[in-house]
Amino acid sequence: MADALVLHVNSSWTSPYALSAFVALKEKGLPFELALLDLDAGEHRRPPYAADSVTGRIPALRHGDFWLAESSAIDEYLEEAFPPPGHPRLYPADPKARARVRMVQAFLRSDLGALRNERPTSTFFLGEAAKPFTPAGRADAERLVTVAERFLPPGADSVAPAAPDGPAGGPFCIADADLALMLHRLVASGDPCPTRLADWARAVFRRPSIREWLSHTKWRDR
């Protein structure tokens, strides 16, 4: 029997990183078990999870006796362990296009800290009210729009750019889920976001893989 896949996520279903790994597994069409951890109760700091998960954070993937943390590492592992054409593609095949997708994922995980703090996912996954932006939060919001317009030029369906000899970008790569979630920090709170980007983020959030995540939250379409 193939090694079982178990994804560890937080029981409040608010983690954007856990969402990315969950969507990757769903888009690949892989059967997997979910293990829910209550972060408020500190379940992720207790043995054996604290050590098994390597970082003591969620998400963490167990594949047989192999453990892996860090959402983008999980996404990439799944792509390589369950590669196309046998499984749907999460990253473009072309090295430059693939590098651009990794760039989007890295940017979304390292930058925009003030926006992430001031528009936490609890505003749309738990229905909590958003507070007015500080100058730093507003600057991050504006930067997100500027950079997202570069990631997603007019007409693009996906941040995966067109391969030189392949079809136009898209229709989906895993960084689309990450970028759509980041844009929803603005859209869900009614903060300024160009209609084109907001509509794109809404379309990405209509994917069945993401709807399934949303069904565990208080998400409502806006």
Triad 8, 6, 64: Cα angle to 5°? 130
Shortest Cβ 36–ligand GSH spacing (Å):
13
Two structure tokens written together for 105: 């994922």
When the beta carbons of 15 and 158 are compared against ligand GSH, the nearer one is 15
Shortest Cβ 63–ligand GSH spacing (Å):
16
3-state SS assignment for residue 218: coil
Shortest Cβ 153–ligand GSH spacing (Å):
26
* 129 closest CA partner among 118, 137, 140, 138: 118
Sheet holding 33-37, edge to edge: 33-37, 5-10, 60-63, 66-69
Shortest Cβ 182–ligand GSH spacing (Å):
13
Exactly one of 19, 27, 70, 82 binds ligand GSH (CB under 6 A); that residue is: 70
Exactly one of 59, 137, 161, 169 binds ligand GSH (CB under 6 A); that residue is: 59
Report how many residues bind ligand GSH under the rule CB under 6 A: 11
Residue nearest to ligand GSH (CB): 57
Please report whether residue 13 would count as binding ligand GSH according to CB under 6 A. Answer: no
Residues 6 or more apart whose CB falls under 8 angstroms from that of 93 comprise: 84, 163, 166
Contacts 24+ apart (CB under 8 A), 201-204: 204/172, 204/176, 204/177, 204/179, 204/180
Please report whether residue 178 would count as binding ligand GSH according to CB under 6 A. Answer: no
User: Rounded to a whole number, what is the distance in angstroms from the first to the last CA of the chain?
Assistant: 44
Please report whether residue 39 would count as binding ligand GSH according to CB under 6 A. Answer: yes
DSSP string, 13-56: ---HHHHHHHHHHHHHT---EEEEE-TTTTGGGSTTHHHHTSSS
Whether the Cβ atoms of residue 71 and residue 18 lie closer than 8 Å to each other:
yes
- Which region, judged by CB under 6 A, interacts with ligand GSH, from 55-63, 89-97, 125-133, 157-165? 55-63
Exactly one of 57, 62, 119, 207 binds ligand GSH (CB under 6 A); that residue is: 57
Exactly one of 5, 19, 24, 58 binds ligand GSH (CB under 6 A); that residue is: 58
Please report whether residue 109 would count as binding ligand GSH according to CB under 6 A. Answer: yes
Please report whether residue 71 would count as binding ligand GSH according to CB under 6 A. Answer: yes
Tokens 């136009």 belong to residue: 168
Shortest Cβ 29–ligand GSH spacing (Å):
22
Binding site for ligand GSH (CB under 6 A): 10, 15, 17, 39, 44, 57-59, 70-71, 109
